[in-house]
């Protein structure tokens, strides 16, 4: 039996390759506004299904909910086992009767299949609870909801609000009682912890009762379009085969959940789909920075170069004034270009693609001119003061903006503004110039090759002069005019980890050692040294509290990737360095298969015991483990 504390905190995730998902806790108790059995296009349609197992005259409530002052029912008490096989499977034991419940989503559809299998003949009563609201919001009892239920043989449908898709539940000849009612005052624990509204009402439109034959599976298929229940077994076989083809490892399966096809941002005018990467679940969409950092690990390290190619092309089409978007608004508005590093990471993603595939012709024919335009815009100046300064380094920022990955902002408070010349931006700029020098040389563009080489040489010389912090044996985090920020942060590691490095070996080794001594934890790098007065060791509480800690000590797993790559570089890729790297990866891999239930989170606390926080599944956390694990194995 799983303890309630563990079963209510650990969360599972199913995705469908379209950005939709199903997710809850092992206990079946929704603890977030984002939880749901069918979440499509940013809307929670089917929040959950209340289940009662009926064996003869005995009734067993299998659901778990938190209401004010009570947990009711307490179905977690019957839960004996949870496993990913390959999707979530929960096993209940009710006084000798075993019931196995499995949940999976259909790839490429907004469809969730829930299957039940009992050890003896019995009935199961299913009471769907619907929300039909934006997944960032909550719903409450209201008179606008239309309670009508449309019944047909093997199907029941509801369409509670105008302008939203209908929900169809296919079943195998169950009995439908169309009388509906509101369930009031669900409490969501994680939302309360996050300092947000946490009370919700959900509507039950009908009750569906299924007869379960001994050892035979019965299903309900929840979808935004009509589906026949007799398709459930075929869908199960197809999805099992698809996931098996991904590879046997947990990381490969985790990576698949972030690779999606979504509608283009001008969907109404041109309803086409574009390939991209979801930055994290539950509340992130696709972000330019996250996509480019994650692309090598999620696609190239998993043998999906065609997906990498499609994503690179997709983003080339939305480059504007030499910049890639920071993010695409969920409401379908124009992309937002408030980032300095997404564009620079694009160069590294393309370099990694070309190095892996040898497909330089693709780069030449489709991407090179886009990249050359980006360099030109950065030389002459683009949005938010992003331009090359007189010394050849890249400066960026205006008051009230946050352009680097350390982008927390609460109202008008920019927590880590980093205006001027951030250290990782210089490393990325230099790397981009050397990448372009190589491409130009390969493509016979000698004048451009010489120009990029000259720019890179100037940047490297200026960097050595302005950024070395001799007192601490590392790099300044930001240089702005005559001011240099000596905060010990992980951003300096990119000057050592990127393919084209800016530091001589002695200084590079000192940077790696400084980062190791001050920032390394079992789950990644802290964003600020604990000795700093601004350090915050807990990522918790209200939005203000969390954003104040987000980059002030909180641990980010994805940073373990560049740290290990830098460590391998300064230690000449020795056998001992590879052994140490594998040891550093081990805690996160263990987390993936245990507490993470097949995924890796966005962040951990800076202080022990390093509790996980933020999004439960983050693309670059998984991507960097895949990339570095492959690097270690390849070099062995």
Quick: pLDDT tens for 432-473.
999 999 999 999 999 999 999 999 999 999 999 999 999 999
- Tell me the average pLDDT across 590-604: 96
Q: Which CATH class is domain 4-245?
A: mainly beta
Answer positive or negative: Cα dihedral of 277, 279, 283, 285. Answer: negative
Q: Which helix (H) or strand (E) holds 621?
A: helix 619-635
In this predicted structure, what is the pLDDT of residue 267? 45
Token readout for 527 is 């964003």
Please write the tens of the pLDDT for every residue from 501-511: 999 999 999 99
Window from 132-146, 209-223, 404-418, 423-437 with minimum mean pLDDT: 404-418
Q: Kindly give, in sequence order, each residue whose CB lies less than 8 Å from that of residue 407, ignoring residues fewer than 6 positions away.
A: 339
- b/e string for 289-300 if b means 16 or more Cβ within 10 A? bbbbbbbbbbbb
CA atoms within 13 A on the CB side of 533: 1
Torsion of CA 129, 130, 135, 137, to 10 degrees: -90
Place of tokens 């990448």: 435
pLDDT at 634: 65
pTM of the model: 0.96
Distance CA 320, CA 576 (A): 45
Phi, psi of 520 (to 5 degrees): -75, 135
Tokens of 27: 């206990």
CA triple 270-273-277, angle to 5 deg: 140
Q: Is there a contact between 53 and 75 (Cβ–Cβ < 8 Å)?
A: no
Annotate 117-135 with DSSP letters as a single string. Answer: EESSSEEEEEEEEEEEEET
Average pLDDT, integer, range 136-161 = 96
- Select from 290, 356, 308 the least CA-distant residue to 622: 290
| Phi/psi at 281 (5° precision) | -115, 135
pLDDT in tens, 155-202: 999 999 999 999 999 999 889 999 999 999 999 999 999 999 999 999
Which DSSP state fits 534? T
The CATH number of domain 250-635, selected from 3.40.50.1370, 3.40.630.30, 1.50.10.10, 3.20.190.10? 1.50.10.10
Residues of the chain with CATH 1.50.10.10: 250-635
CB 473 within 8 A of CB 510: yes
Place of tokens 């990339």: 627
Q: Which two tokens stand for residue 409?
A: 């902002």
Confidence of residue 274 (pLDDT cuts 50, 70, 90): confident
* Calpha distance 259→299 (Å, rounded): 8
Bridge partners of 263? 273
DSSP state of 187: E
* Rounded (5°) CA angle 224-233-306: 70
Distance CA 373, CA 379 (A): 10
Question: What percent of the chain stands above pLDDT 70?
Answer: 98
Q: Which residues of 421-450 are buried (b: 16+ CB within 10 A; e: fewer)?
A: bbbbbbbbbbbbbbbbbbbbeebebeebbe
Predicted local confidence at residue 411, as pLDDT = 84
Over 70: is that where the pLDDT of 266 sits? no
> Which of these, 518, 522, 464, lies nearest to 489 by C-alpha position?
518
Give pLDDT, residue 46. 98
Start-end of CATH 2.70.98 domains in the chain: 4-245
For 354-412, list the strands marked E by DSSP. Answer: 387-388, 394-395, 409-410
Asked if 54 and 97 touch (Cβ cutoff 8 Å), the reply is no
């Amino acid at each position: 039996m799983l303890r309630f504390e563990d079963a209510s905190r650990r969360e599972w995730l199913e995705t469908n390759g379209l950005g939709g998902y199903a997710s809850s806790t092992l206990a079946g108790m929704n603890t977030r506004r984002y939880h749901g059995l069918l979440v499509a296009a940013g809307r929670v349609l089917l929040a959950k299904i209340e289940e009662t197992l009926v064996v003869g005259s005995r009734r067993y409530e299998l659901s778990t909910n938190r209401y004010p002052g009570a947990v009711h029912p307490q179905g977690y008490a019957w839960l004996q086992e949870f496993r990913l096989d390959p999707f979530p499977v929960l096993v209940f034991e009710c006084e000798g009767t075993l019931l196995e419940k499995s949940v999976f989503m259909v790839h490429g559809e907004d469809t969730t299949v829930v299957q039940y299998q009992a050890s003896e003949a019995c009935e199961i009563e299913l009471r769907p609870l619907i929300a039909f609201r934006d997944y960032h919001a909550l719903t409450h009892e209201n008179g606008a909801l239309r309670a009508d239920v449309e019944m047909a043989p093997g199907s029941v449908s509801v369409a509670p609000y105008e302008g939203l898709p209908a929900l169809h539940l296919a079943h195998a000849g169950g009995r439908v009682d169309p009388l509906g009612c509101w369930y009031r005052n669900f409490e969501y624990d994680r939302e309360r912890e996050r300092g947000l509204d946490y009370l919700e009402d959900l509507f039950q439109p009908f009750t569906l009762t299924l007869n379960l034959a001994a050892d035979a599976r019965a299903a309900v298929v929840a979808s935004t379009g009509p589906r026949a229940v007799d398709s459930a077994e075929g869908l199960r076989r197809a999805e099992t085969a698809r996931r098996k083809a991904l590879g046997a490892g947990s990381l490969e399966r985790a990576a698949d959940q972030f690779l999606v096809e979504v509608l283009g941002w001008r969907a109404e005018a041109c309803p086409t789909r574009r390939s991209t990467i979801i930055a994290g679940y539950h509340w992130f969409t696709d972000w330019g920075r996250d996509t480019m950092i994650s692309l090598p690990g999620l696609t190239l390290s998993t043998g999906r170069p065609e997906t990498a190619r499609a994503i690179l092309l997709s983003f080339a089409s939305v480059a504007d004034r030499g910049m890639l978007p920071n993010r695409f608004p969920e409401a379908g508005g124009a992309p937002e270009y408030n980032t300095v590093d997404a564009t620079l990471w694009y160069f590294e993603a393309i370099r990694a693609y070309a190095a892996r595939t040898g497909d330089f012709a693709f780069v030449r024919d489709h991407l090179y001119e886009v990249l050359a335009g980006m360099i030109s815009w950065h030389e002459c100046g683009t949005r938010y003061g992003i331009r090359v300064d007189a010394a050849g380094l890249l400066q960026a920022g205006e008051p009230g903006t946050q352009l680097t990955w350390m982008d927390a902002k609460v109202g008008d408070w920019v927590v880590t503004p980093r205006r001027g010349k951030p250290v990782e931006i210089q490393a990325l700029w230099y790397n981009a110039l050397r990448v372009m020098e190589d491409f130009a040389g390969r493509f016979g563009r000698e004048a451009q090759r010489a120009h990029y080489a000259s720019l890179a040489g100037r940047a490297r010389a200026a960097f050595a002069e302005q950024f070395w912090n001799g007192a601490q044996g590392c790099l300044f985090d930001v240089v702005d005019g005559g001011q240099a920020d000596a905060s010990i942060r992980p951003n300096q590691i990119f000057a050592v980890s990127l393919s084209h490095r800016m530091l001589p070996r002695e200084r590079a080794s000192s940077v790696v050692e400084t980062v190791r001594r001050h920032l390394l934890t079992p789950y990644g790098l802290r964003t600020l040294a604990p000795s700093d007065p601004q350090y915050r060791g807990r990522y918790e509480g209200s939005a203000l509290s969390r954003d104040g800690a987000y980059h002030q000590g909180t641990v980010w797993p994805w940073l373990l990737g560049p740290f290990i790559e830098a460590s391998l570089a300064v230690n000449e890729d020795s056998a001992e360095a590879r052994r140490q790297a594998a040891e550093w990866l081990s805690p996160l891999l263990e987390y993936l298969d245990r507490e993470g239930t097949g995924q890796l989170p966005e962040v951990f606390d800076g202080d022990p015991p390093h509790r996980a926080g933020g999004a439960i599944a983050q693309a670059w956390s998984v991507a960097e483990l895949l990339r570095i694990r492959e690097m270690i194995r390849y070099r062995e």
